[in-house]
Structure 1
Amino acid sequence: MTVGSDLLHRYSGAMVQVFGPPQLVLASGHGCWVTDVDGKRYLDLLSGIAVNALGHGHPALVQAVAKQAEQAIHISNFFTSEPAILLAERLLTLANAPAGSGVFFANSGAEAIEAAIKLSRRTGRKRIVALEGSFHGRTTGALALTHKPAYREPFEPLIPEVTFVPPGDEEALREAVDEATAALVIEPIQGEAGVRELTAEYLRLARELTSRHGALLVLDEIQTGIGRTGHWFAHQAAGIIPDAMTLAKGLGGGVPIGALVTFGGEVSTLLGAGQHGTTFGGNPLACAAGLAVLDTIEREDLLGNARTVGAMLDSLTLDGVSATRGRGLLRAIELSGIPAPAAMAAAREAGFIVNAVTPTALRLTPPLILTEAELQGFIDALPAILETARSAS
């Protein structure tokens, strides 16, 4: 029995089984590579599902966390810290937020969505419009906005008055957003649906309709934000400003942190003292990590790297690949005649970590530091991976 198989057996006896059996027991990581407890190395093309923006063990993040841990890790929301203030100011600048905007720090993306839901309730309206194929989290409020029935139905009734419309259907959006709508909540690129991008025209229509009817436009940038698409935030490519934006994943580079960003004084004052809170959110350690991530992305031009390296997948033509889609380093490879789970398993055996995000698509969300040579290594290995998967299915 290997060390990994022994630990996986112990996992099954000690953990609540909400994730299913883990694929591997990982021990360490360096750059874009991880090593399991049995010593095998893998190119990490998932990065904790778009979380490890700087890869593993990046010196800037390690040093920032170590330094802050020596000073203060947690202080509670009775107080604040310089890292929290600096990170909030930095996010507002990067988001081109107008005067009066603000940031609420949480611990995760789902918590940021929960804050956005409460923000929408403060408009005096209750109805929320979301998109079919959406994924906004697993907590009960966020789950109400998540479309997949298998996620929702075991926990119903959820919060009421949520309307789902087909993504990209402009007429359906026009019909759904009206004077009773509190908020329209959308992902610029739907990650769990298979990396399905909304057009700039659709996002601009969403902005127009919500402004016309006095509803909030809430953009879920939990997966698409913090440089993932080659912009700081994916919606910036459409030239729009939302009323609120949720962030998490890549913001802390692996340290748990989420954020709700509110745009303008009218929206930012909807939630008042005592109407929302968090114990751990915005602690100095997480905020120091967030600052290190943003500084490194800027200093190393990782926005440009995401665009350049990601573009290598635009022209991918292989037997068994019907299409590629996405932006920057948020990508999907659509397969033809090959089950994505079988391709994921074959890739893992060949030393590459990817995600079967749908039955027919592989999702890639690698660290933003991924090099062209590293991605080329995966591309070169892909024909054999797909052939192995085809034979196994």
Structure 2
Amino acid sequence: MNYLDCAKEYLMNTYNHLPVVFTHGKGCKVYDTSDKEYLDFTSGIGVMSLGYGNENWIKAVENQLEKIPHTSNIFLNIPVLELAKKFTELSKMSKVFFCNSGAEANEGAIKLARKYSFDKYGKGRSTIITLNKSFHGRTITTLEATGQEKFHNYFYPFTEGFKYTDVDVKSLEDTIDSTCCAIMIEAVQGEGGVNPLSKEFVNKVFEIAEKNDILVICDEVQCGIGRTGKMYGFNNYDVHPDIISTAKALGGGLPMGAVLCNEKLKDTFKYGDHGSTFGGNPVCTAGAIEVLNTISKEGFLDKVSDKGQFIKEYFKNKSSKNVVEVRGIGLMIGVEIKGESSKVQKKVLEKGLLVLTAGPNVIRLLPPLVISEEELEKGLNILYEVIESM
């Protein structure tokens, strides 16, 4: 079978596939149909935080598969209860709703914020402010929540009720009005270029929100679950939101998302207000428990921070003529270059390295959190060589 021809024949044209088909992986490496080895600096866009073939994760998932793979949410199952307790305690939140993806988590967060405001203030207070360069998902509503005009096309009409602000205090203040019920931020804007927010701006968001009874939603879909060296990206700013949306790394490779809320919002949703057929699936939750068990071990997240610093020091010591800036937190790093990021991505692929892009001139690095410094250096050498040869 010619796999690429098969993809063109049967898959919708939603992804511009790179010319490789993977069959298996181990640790921080994956292998294609010819058994060529690749070092993975993408972790499936931040999903495979424990790498490939993690024995404890596999065992947890297999054990649950043998017991019961799915139940309706009319009934309870043991893994979802264990995960709910562990997750809310680690997150310092009151309650959680489980779903399947980041977009679904953000939809739930939006609904929760609007329901809270409607219950307290009635109609007319439903606007959610998001940031320019943000990304919140691919559904009709989360596309409109995304502060990038290139996504606002073709699919009209979009869900109304969103306003956008620059990452600037004055712009934020000018955007606030009496219709606002929530402000939605990413601590690090992944798809928008790997842009960490400034502490000044984040503090102002929370100050304005508290003054006006506006909720703060932290979209932690990409920068959460240990990615920045903290449980959540916002933990780097000494703040705590009303709502957290998260996904990607939570399931360790299985589709898993969640919306967490604080004490103020814990009883906002009533029976029938929200739901998800596969949300809290026993197999996915079993995998998620193992992910949380691993990243909550003493010293694990400190090592993630150290590895992020290792990447920054690498480029600092190299003094590259084609690197404009290296930014990010933990193992969520953006390398802005003088050139096309897509060309670099294809070149390093040929040399056995997987990287992501975040716009036309930013290479995005999201390696598994368990990667070693030796593996980091090996991959960075490949990346540096290609960037310098441009």
TM-score class, shorter-chain normalisation, is: over 0.9
Residue identity in the other structure for 1:173 = L
Cα distance in 1 between the residues matched to 2:278 and 2:129? 30
Cα distance in 2 between the residues matched to 1:204 and 1:88? 29
Cα distance in 2 between the residues matched to 1:57 and 1:145? 36
SS in 2 for 1:153: coil
Equivalent positions of 1:283-322 (< 5 A) are: 283-299=281-297, 301-315=299-313, 316=315, 317-322=319-324
Cα distance in 1 between the residues matched to 2:137 and 2:14? 14
Q: For residues 305-352 of structure 1, give each alpha carbon's deviation from its aligned partner in whole angstroms, at most 9, with x where no partner exists.
A: 21111111223132311210001000011112x211111111111110
Cα distance in 1 between the residues matched to 2:7 and 2:380? 33
Which residue in the other structure is 1:256 paired with? Answer: 255
Contact 2:321–2:388 (CA under 8 A) maintained in structure 1: no
Q: For residues 129-188 of structure 1, give each alpha carbon's deviation from its aligned partner in whole angstroms, at most 9, with x where no partner exists.
A: 000001000011111101222222211221112111112x01111222233211111111
Give the TM-score taking structure 2 as reference length: 0.94
Task: Give unpaired runs (5+ residues) of structure 1.
Answer: none
Residue identity in the other structure for 1:186 = I
Equivalent positions of 1:90-101 (< 5 A) are: 90-97=86-93, 101=94
Shift of 1:300: 7.0
Which residue in the other structure is 1:214 paired with? Answer: 213
Q: For residues 214-234 of structure 1, give each alpha carbon's deviation from its aligned partner in whole angstroms, at most 9, with x where no partner exists.
A: 111000000011000000011
Cα distance in 1 between the residues matched to 2:19 and 2:76? 40
1:50 matched to 2:46? The reply is yes
Shift of 1:378: 1.6
Which residue in the other structure is 2:69 paired with? Answer: 73
Shift of 1:380: 2.1
SS in 2 for 1:274: coil
Task: Give unpaired runs (5+ residues) of structure 2.
Answer: 119-124
Identity across the alignment (%): 35
Residue identity in the other structure for 2:98 = F
Contact 1:120–1:183 (CA under 8 A) maintained in structure 2: yes
1:126 matched to 2:126? The reply is yes
SS in 1 for 2:324: strand
Equivalent positions of 1:160-199 (< 5 A) are: 160-167=160-167, 169-199=168-198
2:331 to 322, 329, 332: 329
Cα distance in 1 between the residues matched to 2:161 and 2:100? 27
Q: For residues 21-79 of structure 1, give each alpha carbon's deviation from its aligned partner in whole angstroms, at most 9, with x where no partner exists.
A: 34421100100000011111100000000000101111111111001111111001101
Structure 2 vs 1, CA of residues 376 and 300 (structure 1 numbering), >3 Å: closer, same or farther?
Answer: farther
Residue identity in the other structure for 2:350 = E
Residue identity in the other structure for 1:330 = M
Cα distance in 2 between the residues matched to 1:360 and 1:137? 22
Contact 2:320–2:388 (CA under 8 A) maintained in structure 1: no
Structure 1 stretches of 4+ with a deviation exceeding 6 A read none
Structure 2 vs 1, CA of residues 381 and 22 (structure 1 numbering), >3 Å: closer, same or farther?
Answer: closer
Which residue in the other structure is 2:374 paired with? Answer: 373
Residue identity in the other structure for 2:325 = A
Which residue in the other structure is 1:383 paired with? Answer: 384
Residue identity in the other structure for 2:89 = T
Which residue in the other structure is 2:351 paired with? Answer: 350
SS in 2 for 1:245: strand
Which residue in the other structure is 1:242 paired with? Answer: 241
Which residue in the other structure is 1:87 paired with? Answer: 83
Number of residue equivalences: 379
Which residue in the other structure is 2:122 paired with? Answer: none
1:115 matched to 2:108? The reply is yes
SS in 1 for 2:308: helix
Residue identity in the other structure for 1:112 = A
Deviates more, 1:183-192 or 1:207-216: 207-216
Which residue in the other structure is 1:138 paired with? Answer: 138
Shift of 1:205: 1.4
Cα distance in 1 between the residues matched to 2:17 and 2:234? 36
1:270 matched to 2:268? The reply is yes
Contact 1:179–1:214 (CA under 8 A) maintained in structure 2: no
Q: For residues 65-124 of structure 1, give each alpha carbon's deviation from its aligned partner in whole angstroms, at most 9, with x where no partner exists.
A: 001111111001101112111111112111222xxx210000001001111111122112
SS in 2 for 1:358: coil
